[in-house]
A and B are shown apart, each in its own frame.
Chain A
Amino acid sequence: MAIKTYEKPTIIKVESSHSKAGVPMPKQKIRKKIGGVAIDEMVERFGSPLFIFDEKAIREKYRSAYEAFSSRYPNVQFGWSYKTNYLKAVCAVFHQEGAIAEVVSEFEYEKARELGIEGKDIIYNGPYKPYDSLVTAAKEGAKIHIDTFDEINDLEKVADELGSEIPVAIRLNMDTGIYPQWSRFGFNIESGQAMDAVKRIKAGGKLRLTGLHAHIGTFMLDANAYKVETTKMVRLMNEVEEKVGFTIEYIDVGGGFASKNHLRGIYQPPEVVVPTIDDYAEAITSALYENIRGNSYPKLYLETGRHLIDEAGYLVTSVVASKTLPDSRRSYIVDAGVNLLYTYFWYKFNIELTREISGISEPAMINGPLCMNIDVIDESILLPRLRRGDKLVISPVGAYNITQWMQFIRYRPRVLMVTEDGNVELIREREELSDIENREILPEKLKLK
């Protein structure tokens, strides 16, 4: 007798609340390859779980974003937002494409320098910049964006120390019509605080204001907020140039463009609610043209992070066990947990299989391997019955997860990049005990015999 293909036993009670359960899944979401390379082969070779980045997808996304802006406003420069993903290989792809670095700490600054980025090609943002890092950044000609009056004092001290004037930008916050308004970074425009900061810088005589910067929010679903932002920034630029006499060389509108990820609590799919890069570009560049008064057109800087990298990143995880829960749902335990998926807290991910699986669908939840009740990757998903070793491909996960992941309970896994020519490169090795313990010190008297 020929051996038949096994389908795990499945029974589903017909209930109106699960109207789609209990029938063969009309369309299974399948992803067999990333960047042209079979996912199963990569797992075979490098183990599971795995983060996988698609180099071609990163470059294509960057080029289309650059094109959207440069075709409308030629004087444009992207700065790669390190905090979104500071894996060396990922940063290097963006730098090869022409992006400079945008960093928000001395650590990120050092990372960019170590990668070979010159100080002049680094935008230094953030609410806290240690004094020594300001000295280094000023010496190396970085674009320092001032966040507070205290930082003005620090930089004036640095200028004295170096015996030279330091070119700087100030960070701004404002009402762009969105909620919540981001007001904790920089100086407020509407209250006059921003103009006070400009005058304070002028009065000090040690710093020269050359740029204006703002970052109005994250995952912005309203492109018009950028039109409001840019309008307010250009009007402030006009006022600064006329009344205070500084020449503003650049306007940095920050980041916050959304990716095609599914925000929790939003019913419509990202294809419907997320503006296109052309929508954002049109909003920003039209505001520049409508409000610039003089003949000089400042350079436009962008610090787009999530939009450029989110969709190029995948997490492949394998089913290690399954069980029936007391509410009759199936729980799959997979080998990657929410410690690797920081963005789980606001995204409902796209979850795909790497093979078609026959059988009727069943309501399931996907749990990670952490011994913590919160380790839930998807609370409610219809899946055919999966077997041990079946793989799930979770996306988009390219933004923020690699930087905000936690070493918690388990080692963090390998990260791969599928290159443009279809090669598979290991870009971060999996952790081992020494990675975690080499910063710990056990006092002599506590050493166990």
Chain B
Amino acid sequence: MRIENLAVNKNGFAFDPTSGETFTLNETAKEIIEDLARGVEEKEIAKKLSEEYDVTQEEALNDVLDFKEKLKLYGLLP
């Protein structure tokens, strides 16, 4: 998974050393990437988000799935 190699700085700027591509991302995206890279399950990520932020677990799970779709389109997930 290329997300494991993604270098993310504290300002939300990410660099993919494999492709040389750069990305910007927000705090929520950063957290999900870190969790996905550690192999955390989608449902568990959603649960964590709902505990930390004002979002329901259902909405957070949809967002995690949608976000994974985006990562795939960018070639960051298989």
Contact = CB atoms under 8 A, between A and B. Distances in A.
Our verdict on whether A and B bind, yes or no, reads yes
Given A6-B53, A8-B28, A9-B28, A324 B69 contact: yes
A5 B28 CA distance: 10
B41 interface: no
B72 to A, nearest CB: 9
A12 B23 contact: yes
Interface in A18-37: 22-23
Contacts of A324: 66, 69-70, 73
Contacts of A14: 21-24
Among the interface residues A3, A9, A14, A387, which one has the most CB atoms of the partner chain B within 10 A?
A9
A350 B65 CA distance: 31
A10 B66 contact: no
A371 interface: no
Contacts of B27: 7
B53 A10 contact: no
B23 A4 contact: no
B67 A9 contact: yes
Interface string B17-56: 0000111111111011100000000000000010011110
B59 A388 contact: yes
A223 to B, nearest CB: 46
B53 A4 contact: yes
Interface residues of B, number: 30
A327 B74 CA distance: 10
B32 A4 contact: no
Contacts of B33: 11
Given A3-B53, A328-B74, A22 B23 contact: yes
Contacts of A326: 73
A6 B60 CA distance: 10
Given A3-B53, A14-B24, A8 B63 contact: yes
Given A4-B53, A4-B54, A5-B53, A10 B69 contact: no
B29 A6 contact: no
B53 to A, nearest CB: 4
Among the interface residues A6, A327, A359, A387, which one has the most CB atoms of the partner chain B within 10 A?
A6
A360 B54 contact: no
A133 interface: no
Contacts of A1: 52
A13 interface: yes
A322 interface: yes
Contacts of A327: 73
A268 to B, nearest CB: 30
Nearest to B25: A11
A322 B66 contact: yes
Contact of A6 (B22, B25, B49): B49
A184 interface: no
A199 interface: no
A143 B31 CA distance: 71
A328 B70 contact: yes
A143 to B, nearest CB: 59
A9 B32 contact: yes
Contact of A11 (B29, B55, B64): B29
A113 interface: no
Contact of B28 (A7, A22, A322, A328): A7
A84 to B, nearest CB: 41
A323 interface: yes
Contact of B12 (A3, A6, A360, A388): A360
A65 B23 CA distance: 51
A1 B48 CA distance: 13
Contact of B26 (A3, A9, A328): A9
Given A9-B63, A14-B24, 17 more contacts: A3-B52, A6-B49, A6-B60, A8-B28, A9-B31, A9-B32, A9-B67, A11-B24, A11-B26, A11-B70, A13-B23, A13-B74, A14-B21, A23-B24, A323-B66, A324-B69, A388-B59
Interface of B: 12, 14, 21-29, 31-33, 49, 52-55, 59-60, 63-64, 66-67, 69-71, 73-74
The 10 residue pairs across chains A and B that have the minimum distance between CB atoms: A6-B53, A22-B24, A9-B29, A6-B55, A11-B25, A9-B28, A9-B67, A14-B22, A328-B73, A324-B69
20 contacts: A3-B52, A6-B49, A6-B53, A6-B60, A7-B26, A7-B27, A9-B29, A9-B32, A9-B63, A9-B67, A11-B14, A11-B25, A13-B74, A14-B24, A323-B66, A326-B73, A359-B26, A360-B12, A360-B26, A388-B59
